[in-house]
Amino acid sequence: TIGNLHRATVAMVKAPAQAQKAEKVLPLLSEEELAVFKRGRNANVHSIPHNASRADYLKATALECLIGWLYLNGRKERINELFNIMMEEE
């Protein structure tokens, strides 16, 4: 149903889930990608959602920064590569 699809989607985009996905790709990042990730992680955030720890929220923010940076640099193939790794079942 639409409600179940919505709940599944929300579960995937919450900060804890994104932080877990970031952990999967961290060892695979280049030096340059890792530098972008760390800059995103160190961003000054003023509010953190109740459903996330500060560490998870910062990792999720870092992952979003990395994906945005890759997109802006036209590296869509690399985005797809990382996304496929993140979505692999364990």
pLDDT band at 12, cuts 50/70/90? confident
* pLDDT value at residue 48: 79
> 10 near 51, Cβ under 8 Å?
no
3 state SS of 89: coil
Least Cα distance to 90 among 30, 13, 3, 17 occurs for: 17
Higher-confidence residue of 68 and 41: namely 68
DSSP-derived letter for residue 59 is H
> 70 near 78, Cβ under 8 Å?
yes
| Summary mean pLDDT of the chain | 89
pTM (two decimals): 0.85
3 state SS of 49: coil
pLDDT at 50 over 90: no
